[in-house]
């Protein structure tokens, strides 16, 4: 089995990992949360500068932790899209330089494919076809994983991503960044039925009902804003933060679960793999697990450390492409967006 070293730097985590046979040998993650926290979100210019500072120490640490030498590494992979361009460039330049210096093949990886592959790290027996519910800070998608490297996105968000909604609602409640983990924690003390909130259905044209798989979270965010303002007017000194967090989280979990189950049944699939930072959410885990059981479906969530951005998931995707004889040219650039359906553009077959 090949051994792949991968670099991830698409947003606010610098990560370098080494994976072989879907087994993580090293996974070093330098999080920038502390840096961006004071601004309530990621500041792209600061992110790329911090990646530049951290990339070499992360590479050194991953190599040291693995106990391997460069001759043991078969290929170098790196996230090339989608993401913050200035941040992506840092990781990709480091990865290409390593590929050149050590004379290894280079593989450009789509970040969302990485999130899909995070599920294989926890469940090596997982095999396509399956449905992936991908819920991160930048994306909310239902992806039909048809076979290795072949994807069809059948549902997405029309506005805010699920993680983005957690982050924005946390800001409304004066909670820290990122919002997901703190809302998840506070929600444990609250009543999920304290407030009824809109689930964010997306209407189809000509009164044809609602889109079965698409979601919208901006209406929910606005409803939270109005609710918080109303409650503050009534009682300026005590906001029922736990109940607000629990009700918001419940609504998001319900919206995502309904769409994922419906899509899985409609596509005649029996497995849902969840990926992205919001896959760490406890309400989503419980609701989806229970609903899937009711419909005789299997659900896999990656281990918590592989839900948020990490190099191991990129290396895992890189390993599969390497085995399938895909290679990326060193002239491959980065891009802020690319549809998952187009990833063959990243490779030529050797
Ligand atoms: O996948 P990720 O690390 O970065 C992107 O590719 O976007 O996801 C980060 C997102 C943030 O919006 C964060 O608030 C959310 O994942 N998140 C959570 C939880 N942990 C992280 N959302 C809900 N519940 C959590 N426990
Ligand atoms: Zn991500």
What domains sit in the chain, N to C, each tagged with a CATH number? 3-116+307-346 (3.30.420.40), 128-304 (3.30.420.40)
CA of residue 4 to ligand 1 center, whole Å: 26
Task: Determine the pLDDT at residue 263.
Answer: 98
Mean pLDDT by 10 residues, the chain (350 residues): 97 96 97 90 94 98 98 98 98 98 98 97 93 96 96 96 96 94 98 96 89 94 97 91 98 98 98 97 98 98 95 98 97 96 92
In the chain, the DSSP E strands lie at 3-8, 13-20, 23-31, 75-81, 106-110, 130-135, 140-147, 150-156, 271-275, 298-300, 326-327, 348-349
Q: Which of 192, 277, 304 gets mutated to test ligand 1 (max ligand atoms within 8 A of its CB)?
A: 277
Position 46 scores a pLDDT of: 96
Q: In terms of C-beta density within 10 A (0-12 exposed, 13-18 middle, 19 or more buried), how is residue 110 classed?
A: buried
- C-beta 83 within 6 A of ligand 1: no
111 is in an annotated binding site: yes
Count of residues in the chain: 350
**Ligand 2 ion local residues (Cβ < 5 A):** 136, 309
In this prediction, residue 128 carries a pLDDT of 98
- Count Cβ neighbours within 10 Å for each residue of 41-55 and write b for 16 or more, e otherwise: bbbbebbbbbbbebb
Residue 209 among known ligand-binding residues: no
**For residue 236, what pLDDT is reported?**
82
Confirm whether residue 91 is marked as ligand binding.
no
Q: Which atom of ligand 1 is nearest to the CA of 13?
A: 3
Give the Å distance between the CA of 169 and the centre of ligand 1: 13
């Amino acid at each position: 089995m090949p051994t792949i070293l991968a670099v991830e730097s698409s947003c606010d985590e610098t990560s370098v990992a080494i994976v072989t046979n879907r087994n993580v040998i090293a996974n070093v993650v330098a999080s920038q949360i502390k840096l961006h926290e004071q601004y309530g979100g990621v500041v792209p210019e600061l992110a790329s500068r911090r990646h530049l500072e951290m990339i070499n120490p992360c590479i050194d640490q991953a190599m040291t932790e693995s106990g391997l030498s460069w001759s043991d590494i078969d290929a170098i992979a790196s996230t090339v899209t989608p993401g913050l361009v200035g941040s992506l460039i840092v990781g990709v330049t480091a990865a290409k330089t390593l590929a050149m210096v050590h004379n290894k093949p280079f593989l450009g990886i789509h970040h969302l494919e990485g999130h899909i592959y995070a599920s294989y790290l926890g469940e090596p027996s997982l095999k396509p076809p399956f449905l992936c519910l991908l819920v991160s800070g930048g994306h909310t998608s239902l992806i039909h994983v048809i076979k290795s490297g072949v994807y069809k996105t059948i549902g997405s968000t029309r506005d805010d991503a699920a993680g983005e909604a957690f982050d924005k609602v946390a800001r409304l409640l004066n909670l820290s960044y990122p919002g997901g983990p703190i809302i998840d924690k506070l929600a444990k003390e609250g009543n999920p039925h304290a407030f009824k909130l809109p689930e964010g259905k997306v209407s189809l044209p000509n009164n044809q009902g609602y889109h079965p798989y698409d979601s919208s979270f901006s209406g929910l965010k606005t409803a939270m804003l109005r609710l918080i303002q109303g409650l503050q007017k009534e009682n300026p000194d005590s906001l029922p933060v736990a109940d607000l967090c629990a009700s918001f989280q419940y609504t998001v979990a319900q919206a995502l679960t309904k769409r994922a189950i419906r899509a899985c049944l409609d596509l005649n699939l029996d497995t849902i793999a969840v990926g992205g930072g919001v896959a760490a959410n406890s309400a989503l885990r419980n609701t989806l697990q229970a609903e899937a059981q009711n419909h005789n479906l299997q659900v896999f969530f990656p281990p918590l450390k592989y839900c948020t951005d990490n190099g191991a998931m990129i290396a895992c995707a890189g390993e599969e492409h390497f085995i399938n004889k895909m290679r990326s040219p060193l002239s491959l650039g980065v891009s802020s967006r690319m549809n998952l359906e187009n990833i063959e553009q990243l490779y030529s077959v050797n």
